[in-house]
Structure 1
């Protein structure tokens, strides 16, 4: 070993430097230095001379790392969310679960427009959201809030931040899709993922995420603090709960309305980015399909959608509150 590893001059190292070096090379053969009271073998032209007494330098004792704590989300909640606090309907008992229903689009953003009668997504989603709220309140077991109760525009980030600010237990964004193929029909449930489940999910996420962009200006902006949390364990747990609820919603919707496919899809929807609130996006049908439009525009159709959502919510929270030995359907 090159002794310059330990010293590069008579006075270039301090006592502390030698201690650190000794600790780092504790697993290598001991090479003591006179500067710390040791000795090196003396060599002359006639051969080696008996070494001086050597003091062994013991490696420093390092304390064990403290046990890792459970991760806690510290993503800030935007302080300038809309105007006023959304009304919470239902029992006054704050211990009951709170569900936030988000009616997609609104204001200057009409969303999809149906070629069959000109129905606009923003109006249908608000009507469906109110029907879902009314149906859920019948049980008296949950509290409900809407991100909007009128025709107003809310940027996508503010929609899920409203749910976070209210400490919601579940967030459901209601939408209605549109496609070039007029035969495409049925409802679909989406959850969050950075990688889309299929090309159609990717197309839909791109379209919905553009709701923030008006005249080329991004009204939502970027939130790096939230984006960085997506890879964290807390976000993964939230996504797992979201996926479980999505399956429930599909199960309860199937007897009540036309459903496209029997499993949830996923894509990178901005509106589902809450790191600590389980969230799903429910595309209730296709406005490009005449049958779906007639269903969603009718009070009977909206009632069936509302019943499906309410049933899924009741089962979801029942599963999370009853003991493990008492399974819920």
Structure 2
């Protein structure tokens, strides 16, 4: 089943004997011909500024500026459509961010953040890319996920009205494909960022981020640097640096979507 699109999996299972009748044999409207949709998720917003650097730089402003630049570059390539979970300084619950990607059947969700360490900890600098895992790769990843997830909790998944056994099969297949896609997206992002942007020593990481929990949308969370590090804070404030980050991420998205369409 590896490499099949989630709708192909659903169609195959729902066509099995006994399942079509459980669904009432209602045909689903054909998807409209369009470019793949990429959902960009600028972290935090509104009353929640996210991380704040020693120079007063707010994460919510950096991530929105980066998302808008990445949107501009992606749309300039003409290979994808782009939507943002927020396009201005407003608060959007984590659950809603995931729902927006799922409702629109996005090809991928890319969440943009900037990290920060509490005072007194050894300074860290560099970008990293996260995918979902029940077990964090290290204490830093676990602590970051706990901070980001405080806003709200993940919602449930609506599955077709079929037997519990078939639902378990559907969910398992969805998660397998989505996890493989998320890992591929994250690797592409790390490879594209390497050389243009400082990276953590272990840039590919895993943690339980709520925003990555959609079972049917490949997703990755990019920490673009540490606002608690003066070097990263100053770099992220510069439009030319954000443009380099955006160019690397646009390259990763293009590679991901190109392979997905070819499959």
TM-score (norm 1): 0.65
Superposed structure 1 runs of 4+ greater than 3 Å apart? 69-72, 228-231
Q: Which runs of 5+ in 1 are unaligned?
A: 1-68, 73-92, 213-219, 324-329
Partner of 1:126: 64
Of residues 136, 153, 173 in structure 1, which corresponds to 2:91? 153
Q: Does 1:294 align with 2:234?
A: yes
SS in 2 for 1:126: helix
Separation in 2, partners of 1:209, 1:120: 18
Q: Which runs of 5+ in 2 are unaligned?
A: 1-10, 15-31, 159-166
Distance 1:222 1:98, change over 3 A: closer
Q: CA deviation at 1:321?
A: 2.9
SS in 1 for 2:249: helix
Partner of 1:109: 48
Separation in 1, partners of 2:13, 2:202: 34
Map 1:20-59 to 2 at 5 A.
none
SS in 1 for 2:72: helix
Q: CA deviation at 1:322?
A: 3.4
Distance 1:185 1:222, change over 3 A: closer
Residue 109 of structure 2 contacts residue 219 of structure 2 at CA under 8 Å; is this kept in 1? yes
Q: Does 1:95 align with 2:40?
A: no
Q: CA deviation at 1:316?
A: 1.2
Separation in 1, partners of 2:228, 2:154: 32
Distance 1:231 1:268, change over 3 A: farther
Distance 1:127 1:236, change over 3 A: same
Partner of 1:183: 123
Q: Does 1:282 align with 2:214?
A: no
Map 1:1-329 to 2 at 5 A.
94-115=33-54, 117-180=55-118, 181=121, 183-210=123-150, 212=151, 220-221=152-153, 223-225=155-157, 232-261=172-201, 263-322=203-262
RMSD across aligned positions (CA) = 2.4
Distance 1:194 1:142, change over 3 A: same
Separation in 2, partners of 1:137, 1:222: 30
